[in-house]
Chains A and B, each alone.
With several copies, the nearest count.
Chain A
Amino acid sequence: MDKITTAAEAVKAVKDGDTLLVGGFLMAGSPETLIKALLETSSAKNLTVVSNDTGTVDSNMIKVMKQGRVKKVHGSYIGSNPMTGQMLIDDADSVTLYPQGTLAEKIRCGGAGIAGFYTPVGVGTVIENGKEKRTFDGKDYLLEKALRGNVAFVKATVADKFGNCFMRGSTKNFGALMARAADYVIAEAKKIVEVGELDAELVTIPGIFIDALVQSEDV
């Protein structure tokens, strides 16, 4: 199974109406090569984008949004992307905000076959609207449900040809979770090495999760 392909080829997996999980925390671990290919070579629209922050003014995601192809966002901090802020102003239902740890855990559950979990975060705030509140040992918790995507874009520092990904430093953030929670997962890597060259102890995402592997333009 040769997973290595071009960004343009890989992003063909994104279809109209898909939910797209996009790794990264601001620019750290942001799969810009893949988002750029989505911008330039794909016409997929009516996308739901799940991203911690939907990037910054310097990211390619804001350009995809300017093309009107993103109909919904699930995120946590959107102050760095004014397009997402504008979406929320124009249509309150188009942007769903979660506490950052809740968003991370929802995606982890999506990848781990867990339907939902009880978190104390958000109790007594607008976050609890529409959610089940329940008391365990005298403390209140909210039920949060798992989140999954059709396609995930993630970025690795080093990947081997099997798809094992090492995400260095603070680039692990959401990508490491999203790669487990989508039907089709595309990784871009700054460096691609032979199988066996990446230390088994440094694998952030096992290769079994990666469907397509692309050389990042960020080298």
Chain B
Amino acid sequence: MDAKNFIAKRVARELKDGDVVNLGIGLPTLIANYVPEGVSITLQAEHGILGAGPAAKEGEEDPEIINAGGFPITVLPGASFFDSATSFGIIRGGHVDVTVLGALQVDEKGNLANWMVPGKRVPGMGGAMDLVVGARKVIVAMEHTAKGSHKILDTCTFPLTAVGVVNQIITEMGVMEITEDGIKLTEIAQGLTVEDVQSATGAKLIIADNLAVMES
């Protein structure tokens, strides 16, 4: 299992039966493949779907049923469709239990930067700002560093997506909770030392008393 799937599988274990979940583009979409048995979640697509299902099979694409990335998907029994104002009312109103997305940077105050890199072409924030402000729990799922350069910081330097919204960070190196005192490492990947994780992190980690081994 590669790092992305390892991370996705671990994130999936955070989901509880009945959760309404929005998965960002990229790595987070893999999470749907790993939802544990006995846990039934409802996937939300921010442009107007509850009950999103897997990608449409080739030849069965329906251009009127797409995911937030623009790709044809299916919906599950019990799905519903609505306009974008209604959809973001669901998001902003706190009716999404968990949103999982990637980050360019995330810091120990729970600040998130994931929508623009200064000096690079700006793609726009899309629904990310709404999702992280509205969702009850925000999980950042990403590779721990960008080819070695720190993404988990004491203070984000890129333009923020939102202030103080991130609850948890899950990477291939470990699981971290954002606490009032800073970033607490609660699980660590097999074969790594705390020092390994700390040196890949641009903020001082708090180490949980009951630090566990991270299992996917």
Contacts and interface: CB of A to CB of B under 8 A. Distances in A.
- A and B: direct contact (Cβ < 8 Å)? yes
Given A28-B65, A172-B83, 10 more contacts: A100-B125, A100-B129, A101-B91, A104-B88, A107-B85, A125-B129, A127-B129, A169-B49, A173-B84, A174-B84
A78 B122 CA distance: 8
B163 A124 contact: yes
A99 B130 contact: yes
Contacts, number: 210
Interface stretch (B74-82, B146-154, B171-179, B191-199): B74-82
Contacts of B62: 169
A138 B85 CA distance: 25
Contact of B84 (A52, A114, A208): A52
A18 to B, nearest CB: 19
B77 A196 contact: yes
Interface residues of A, number: 68
B143 interface: no
A52 B63 CA distance: 17
Given A79-B123, A125-B159, A112 B92 contact: yes
Contacts of A99: 125, 127-130
B4 interface: no
B59 interface: no
B65 A100 contact: no
A170 B93 contact: no
13 contacts: A56-B70, A76-B125, A77-B125, A100-B125, A100-B129, A101-B92, A101-B127, A102-B130, A112-B90, A120-B92, A177-B84, A200-B80, A207-B42
A89 B121 contact: yes
Contact of B85 (A105, A125, A196, A200): A105
Contacts of A53: 124
Contacts of B164: 124
B66 A121 contact: no
Contact of B50 (A56, A88, A100, A206): A206
A170 B82 CA distance: 7
B89 interface: yes
B80 A203 contact: yes
Contacts of A124: 111, 160, 162-164
A1 B18 contact: yes
A173 B48 contact: yes
Nearest to B71: A26
A89 B119 CA distance: 9
A3 to B, nearest CB: 10
A27 B63 contact: yes
A184 interface: no
Given A27-B70, A168-B64, A121 B129 contact: yes
B31 interface: no
Interface string B47-59: 1111100000000
**Interface bin, chain B:** 35 or more
Interface of A: 1, 25-29, 52-53, 56, 75-80, 85, 88-89, 97, 99-102, 104-105, 107-108, 110-114, 119-127, 157, 160, 162, 164, 168-177, 180-181, 195-196, 198, 200-201, 203-204, 206-209
Given A76-B126, A79-B124, A100-B46, A121 B82 contact: no
Residue of A157, A164, A200 ringed by the most chain B CB atoms within 10 A? A200
Contact of B66 (A97, A170, A203): A170
A27 B62 CA distance: 12
Contact of B47 (A170, A195, A206): A170
Contacts of A200: 51, 75, 79-81
B85 A108 contact: yes
B40 interface: yes
A213 B12 CA distance: 28
Interface in B157-190: 159-164
Given A27-B70, A78-B122, A125 B163 contact: yes
Interface string B97-135: 000000000000001000000000111111111100110
